[in-house]
A and B are shown apart, each in its own frame.
Chain A
Amino acid sequence: MSDNGFEPQITAFMCIYCGYMAADTAGALRIPYPANVKLVKLPCTGKTDPRYILQAFEEGADGVYVVACPVGNCHHVRGNERGYARVQRTKKLLDAIGLGGERLEMFFMSGGQGQAFADAAKEMTERIRSLGPSPIKERVNELTG
């Protein structure tokens, strides 16, 4: 698929409202996106926890992103804003760790935006591909199989 043979492993956290729905819409409209994104559902992106994100990287994720309802349209009013604040903090932490905050991103979209969901997956895949594999991954690959 890629030029350098590197197929990133990406984890997307998403709320069960717009985030999950946007993924469903992408499916219903058959909008393709890279198959290397796996989806973890949260009741709301207000549940986004730096520990979950860091653990994903510890387990070998090359990139992580969070998909939330549009700002102002969160089912839980402001949960997505709390989640955003935590994502921003974790980006800084990833910078300090040396993995780079750009391996983490947050997207806001409405449940009807299948194209936006696919675009986010593409954008993250391209970004991570150009950043290269996470240096953590080599060590943890033997964990699974």
Chain B
Amino acid sequence: MAVNHENPEGAVLVVGGGIGGMRAAIDLAEAGLKVYLVEREAGLGGRVAQLGYMFPTHDCVLCRGTSDHGYGCTRPAISPAFVDHNLHPNIEIMTRTEIVDASGQAGDFTVTLRHHPRYVSVERCTNCGLCAAVCPVRLPSEFQEALVTRMAIHKSAPRSFPDAYYVDKGDYCTDCRRCQAVCPTGAVNLDEEAWDEQVHVSAVILAVGYRLSDAGALEEFGYGRYPNVVHSMQYERYVSRSGPTEGLLLRPSDNQPPKRIAWLQCIGSRDQEHPYCSSICCMYATKEAVLAKQRVEGVHCQVFMMDERAFNKEYNAYFHRSCQEYGVQYTRCRISDLWEDPQTHDLILHYPGEDGKMKEERFDMVVLSVGVQPPAGAEALARALGFNLNEYGFCRTDTFNPLETSQPGIYVCGAFASPKEIAETIIDAAGAAGDVMRLFHDQLGGRPSSREYPFLSRGDFPPERDVSGQPPRVGVFVCRCYPSIEGAVDIERLLERAREYPHVVYAADVGYGCFPEGLAAIKQAIADHDLNRVVVAACSHRTHESLFQRTVREAGLNAYLVEMANIREHCAWVHAQEPEAATRKAMELVRMAVGRASALQPVYKTAVQPVRRALIIGGGVAGMTAALAIADAGFDVTLVERSEALGGHLHDIHYVVEGYNPQRLLRDLVNRVRGHTRIDVYTRTEVVEHSGRVGNYRAVLRRQDGRQEVVTHGVTIVATGGQEARGSRYLLGKHPRVITQLELEEAITSRLDEIARLKDVVMIQCVRPEDSEGRSALPPYCSRICCTSTIKNALRIKVANPDCRVTVLYKDIITYGFREQYYTEARRRGVLFVRYDEENEPVVESLNGDPSTSSERRLRVTVQEPMLRRPMVIEPDLLVLSMAIEPAQGSAELARLLKVPLSHEGFFLEAHIKMRPMDFMEEGIFVCGMAHYPKFIEESISHALATAGRAITILAKEPFYIGGTVAVVDQTKCMGCLTCVRVCPFHIPRVDPHRVGAGGIAGASYIEPALCHGCGTCTAECPATAIQLVNYTDTQIMVPEMPVLGSWVSV
């Protein structure tokens, strides 16, 4: 059957419900566009849902994916906007759905979707689990990477989203229909059939992720034959707290903690068949090794790798901690095979030792660091949607349009474009969303959503009843949730007891409380009995609180006047064997909820209309790209540039390794920015003051001539860039034959004849400037782009003069993703790569050092050749240094001005390195480009689009809401002691000298409701008890009139 779905204009189809798809969907939805989020599997989350920990932060915190602070853990979602009963009203989720066909063009696609049956209704499944208990089919669990089994009817993960079972009705399903027979709510229908649906969408975003390399494909490593050889995703499940062992690391053959673990890198990467770098494995192997060190005392961890590619913010420091603090051993060797000792199941590896002789080592566990491959079905998808794949089978993109496929209107993000980690996927996803917003600017805000309430809605509710001053009239609604609750708790006795509690005027059971009948019964009773507080005794706040908040709001009550008692997960399900005890506990949980409900007060958020203008600081490629995207989307932009011209360091880049012309990009960007009516450009101008809050900032701009101007704006984007460091390391600036890579690029562009005459060139990588005392002026970090720049220039020299000897002295070659091909190409063309390490840095000397005849002076470079273990001496014509990229000058002052933090490298520090790489913790301020970290032009473009998209979600709001569960200072009690300022994990409270505190003394704390995260830390520490957390006040927790914290009902 084919259904024609009626579609609003400007709808966007997001393909893939992993971290990238979710990120793109939420931004588009927030901007007021309709989103179809299509996922092939039964639940959202993708690969990331399987990861227990992220590098380098070692946190799971998907819950920090957005600034939403909803209820509890949001795994596998990145935001409470993806929790079942709080789904964003603009997002329609379709699981087990694939794309079969598409037609049309940008702005008007018709896409045919095929919905495969789940066989279990998401609406009617209550997760009681009776079906799985009777299912006779056991299969390996995909979520747990086959380490345990699951039934044919199962949940894709314990906390899957949608939160419901489904049937994997493959050939192994015996169609015994026991599940259908046993289901108490009639949710199972094994006769469901696949059906097709057509949707009309303006744009498509592909977020289909990647496929792991097949660990068994390389037979020499014994995966599948040797029990103690596991692949990295299996290892992730072992160490995950939601894994089969709740995080205990055990080796498969004997379930004993391993004592020696080896990681073999580049399995399915950087080989003949996969000539690209998978980009993520170096870091995840480091993370996995550190996790082992943290979990298993005395474990030996050894990583066998070619290069350590720790090329992002904080990654290098993390890698060094792994070596130095945790003692993870890194061995530079590509292991080609291994053997198993059949007695012990130990694994035997051979590799050259430090003396060059082969040695044999035993490990009791080997982890194969499997790489990233194009997702399954990529070709079919490309055919259906009409876009091209590249030679590796990933989505083809254009260097300077990194998020666009070859088909206009179809965008790509994340690992489908090239192997990428979480942070980059999120940047891409937000960027693709931003790109779509600019394209369909006339539809922005067309489907407004509201955060006026603690749940997401369209804001269309009946007027609210004023209950202020009324004594509490509490209604208690008990969900039977047969068999879950009713099976353990005596509902009648519970109700009987509930009626005796103070303020309770009504108590009744509601069958299945979350079903439409149950919700209707609650609303009816609120009206009939004039209830002004509601207790729902049912399941988890985490999954259902939004639903009941919505219900009471629909009944005319403030949404904060409902309290749940979790008598299912926290009671019936865990005490099913003790009905008497379960009933007593349920009575107590309901009593506590009644106590708290009686103390609840209505909460109102504040509506704010944003100033619809963005301030962008920095007029380089990132700043200009963000400015154009925001202006194209229909909002004003003030673009501030310190120098006299737009363009930043793009002026210095003449070509990129992929062959495109950055100067054309530069001219194009500058012309479009200059010509755009919505962009006000201020060159020779700096921001000297910045105050206000999201939606309403005020900045003072100072021109070079001293004139000042005030701009009010809703968001601020930092795009101040970075710069090539200088200094005098290796005779830079002191010897005419020593130049930087940027200078070489300039020479290649303008004086190629000179370059072609060179016979011997040496390039040194990873050069950090020195201060006056000879110490490194920068902390060690990877500047990410230098290896590729070096290879780009080395190749140009080799093309101009194949006989020129080019020697690159490096620590690790960082040519991640498809850039690996240029590294291969450079070696093919005879560029020599010689590794050095920190202990043996190259020595550069000037021969016949007479400064007057400087041009004739020769150079001598000496480096320890690691293979030969002997010094290698070169006297090159030219020495080219890859200087570190440092933050732009003035970054620290700007950070102080904006009150945003810097990383230890000196770059701007975002809200969360993995989950929020374009946001600052302060809502409304964003960062992109090299101000964040060194990056390639295309990465700066994606990042800029990401900030633009995030900015538009605020600028397009009409209005947005602040407040809710936030800390509020009673200034009359505040003595300005600064305790809150010092203990807040987010540095939000400030003592404001204009506010009057206790005793009329100037200087009281102020906690900006737009910024407060609502953790309550300050409220528990304030010595004057001057701070209360809304909805968690002392009264609401301690409930003085009804002892709920320590006492229990007696039965």
Direct contact of A and B (CB under 8 A): yes
**A residues bordering B, Cβ < 8 Å?**
1, 9, 11, 16-18, 20-21, 23-33, 35-36, 38-44, 46-49, 51-52, 55-61, 64, 70, 72-79, 82-83, 86, 109-116, 118, 140-141, 143-145
Q: How many contacts A-B (CB < 8 Å)?
A: 216
The answer to the question of B1032 belonging to the interface, with a C-beta cut-off of 8 Å to chain A, is: yes
The 7 closest A-B pairs by CB, nearest first: A112-B242, A27-B569, A59-B1046, A47-B1016, A46-B1017, A61-B1046, A110-B241
Q: How many whole Å from B176's CB to the nearest CB in chain A?
A: 23
Which of these binds chain A: B21-29, B312-320, B572-580? B572-580
Contact A17–B246 (Cβ < 8 Å): no
Stretch at the interface among B60-68, B451-459, B720-728, B763-771: B60-68
Q: A62 CB to closest chain B CB, in angstroms?
A: 9
Task: Please state if B59 and A73 are interface contacts (CB–CB under 8 Å).
Answer: yes
Report the minimum CB–CB distance from B126 to chain A (whole Å). Answer: 12
**Residues 563 to 621 of chain B near chain A (Cβ within 8 Å):** 566, 568-571, 573-578, 581-582, 584-585, 588-589, 592
Q: How many angstroms between the C-alpha atoms of A141 and B660 in the bound complex?
A: 80
Q: A35-B584, A47-B1015, A112-B240 are in contact. Are A61 and B1045 (CB under 8 A)?
A: yes
Check if B985 sits within 8 Å of A113, measured CB to CB. Answer: no
Question: Are A17 and B1047 also in contact (CB < 8 A) when A28-B127, A43-B1029, A76-B1013 are?
Answer: no
Indicate if the CB atoms of A26 and B541 lie closer than 8 Å.
no
What is the CA–CA distance of A55 and B569 in the complex, to the nearest angstrom? 26
A36 touches B581 (CB 8 A): yes
Verify A111–B1015 contact, CB threshold 8 A. no
Are A55's CB and B575's CB within 8 A? no
Min Cβ gap B101→A in Å is: 39
A-B contact pairs, 22 of them (CB 8 A): A11-B1046, A20-B541, A20-B542, A24-B542, A27-B574, A28-B158, A29-B158, A32-B576, A38-B588, A43-B1016, A51-B1034, A52-B1037, A56-B1046, A60-B1047, A79-B985, A82-B1020, A111-B72, A111-B159, A111-B242, A112-B246, A144-B1049, A144-B1050
Whether A46 and B1016, one on each chain, are in contact in the complex, defined by CB atoms closer than 8 angstroms, is: yes
Residues of A within 8 A of B1029 (CB): 43, 47
A103 to B409, CA, bound (A): 63
- Of B240, B542, B569, B1020, the contact of A86 (CB 8 Å cutoff): B1020
- Give the interface size bracket for B toward A: 35 or more
Q: Identify whether the interface residues of A are mostly helix, strand, loop, or mixed.
A: mixed
* Contact partners of A58 in chain B: CB under 8 A: 1046
B52: chain A residues within 8 A (beta carbon):
110, 112
B1020 touches A18 (CB 8 A): no
- Bound complex: CA A140 to CA B75 (Å): 41
* Highest count of chain A CB atoms <10 Å: which of B73, B581, B1013: B73
Contact residue among A23, A29, A79, A116 (Cβ-Cβ distance under 8 Å from B570) = A23
Q: Is the CB of A18 within 8 A of B73?
A: yes
Q: Is the CB of B1032 within 8 A of A43?
A: yes
Task: Give 4 A-B pairs besides A27-B570, A48-B1020 with Cβ atoms closer than 8 angstroms.
Answer: A59-B1044, A111-B72, A112-B159, A144-B1050
Q: Are A59 and B1045 in contact (CB under 8 A)?
A: yes
Q: In the assembly, what is the distance between CA of A75 and CA of B63, in Å?
A: 7
CB pair B569 A44 closer than 8 Å: no
B1050 touching A77, Cβ below 8 Å: no
Q: Answer whether residue B844 sits at the interface, using C-beta atoms and an 8 A cutoff.
A: no
Contact A9 B1048 (CB under 8 A): yes
A51–B574 CB distance below 8 A: no
Within 8 Å of chain A (Cβ to Cβ): is B393? no
Q: Given A25-B158, A30-B573, does the pair A78, B985 have CB atoms closer than 8 Å?
A: yes
Least CB distance from A4 to B in Å reads 17
Residue of A nearest to B582 (CB): A35
Check B585 against A35 for contact (C-beta < 8 Å): yes
Interface residues in B946-983 (C-beta closer than 8 Å to A): 965, 983
Q: How far is the CA of A56 from the CA of B1044 in the complex (A)?
A: 8
Q: Which of A46, A61, A112 contacts B985 (CB 8 A)?
A: A46
Q: Is the CB of A28 within 8 A of B569?
A: yes
A40-B592, A41-B541, A43-B965 known; A59+B1043 contact, CB < 8 A:
yes
Question: Is B1043 within 8 A of A144, CB to CB?
Answer: yes
